[in-house]
Amino acid sequence: MTNPEETRRIKAMNLRYKKPIAKGLNLDDIRNSLWDISEACGDVQYYIDSDDETLLNALDGDEDDAYEFKMMFSTLSAECEQMQYDLGNEYIPEYFDLFFAAVNKGGEMLGFDTYEGDYYGLGSFESTYANEEAVKKIKVLTKDKMIETMQCCFRVYQAYIGLTYRYDCIKSAMDILRSENTSYLKMIKEIEELYENADGETEGFKYCWNGSTLKKLDRLLENVPQEAWIQ
């Protein structure tokens, strides 16, 4: 005899594709990402405020750069909080998640399980059904409503991508201040020392091109990872 509860569970699992969202590009994921960025910036601000000397040393004592650096994190954190507020208070169409599921053909999808009350990953076969389901629901909108929905969705998308891009650009600097990138700082210091020694050995890089220090400096520069040049 079939267990009714198990039947409900299996039915709900098989119908997850009926309520799809695009993985990484839905309101819940956007809100979580904004929160993570804001929290990370807040942690760095606290670190900087509690140890101004470290920041000044990292920026060669330039107070203007130090102030600009602090404001960069403060501004980004404030903009993330503002976007969180806007997502909760401005007009966001009910079709937001569905729209990106409809245009995410071939991408990773999640489906809502009514029995479990949560979203779960869909396989490639289920994702195809999910995409078709999303497209079908978007098509019932009037042309005006569809255009309005698209405009709003892309405004949110552009704002979100802009914030995450800026965060990615300053992530290396955040890592350095948190002493997660000390190897790069040591490498930079070694380059500076070798440069000074090579400068003296070659009399301002005019003579003695076969000197051991200059060769060592050249080898080091050839193998410096891109992240180190942020300094």
In the three-class reduction of DSSP (H, G, I as helix; E, B as strand; rest coil), residue 112 is classed as: strand
**Are residues 44 and 25 part of one domain?**
yes
Helix intervals (H) in the chain: 4-14, 27-50, 52-58, 63-89, 96-102, 124-139, 143-177, 182-201, 212-222
**Are residues 210 and 162 part of one domain?**
no
Copy the structure tokens of residue 176: 């350095």
Phi then psi dihedrals of residue 109, to 5 deg: -130, 155
Residue 134: give the domain boundaries. 4-180
**Are residues 125 and 82 part of one domain?**
yes
Between 201 and 75, the more confident residue is 75
Write out pLDDT tens, residues 148-186.
Answer: 889 999 999 999 999 998 888 887 766 765 554 455 556
Predicted confidence band of residue 205 (pLDDT cuts 50, 70, 90)? low
Q: Are 115 and 8 in contact (CB under 8 A)?
A: yes
Q: What percent of the chain has pLDDT over 70?
A: 71
**Are residues 185 and 169 part of one domain?**
no
pLDDT at position 1 is 45
**Are residues 191 and 145 part of one domain?**
no
Last residue of a domain, one of 162, 180, 198: 180
Q: What is the rounded CA–CA span in Å between residue 133 and residue 19?
A: 8
**Are residues 111 and 19 part of one domain?**
yes
Write out pLDDT tens, residues 77-109.
Answer: 999 999 998 888 777 878 899 999 999 888 899
**Are residues 121 and 12 part of one domain?**
yes
- DSSP codes of every residue in 3-67: -HHHHHHHHHHHTGGGSEEETT-SHHHHHHHHHHHHHHHHHHHHHHHH-HHHHHHHTTT-HHHHH
Tally of domains in the chain? 2
Between 189 and 180, the more confident residue is 189
**Are residues 128 and 24 part of one domain?**
yes
**Are residues 122 and 94 part of one domain?**
yes
**Are residues 161 and 78 part of one domain?**
yes
**Are residues 98 and 74 part of one domain?**
yes
Q: Are 221 and 191 in contact (CB under 8 A)?
A: yes
**Are residues 137 and 108 part of one domain?**
yes
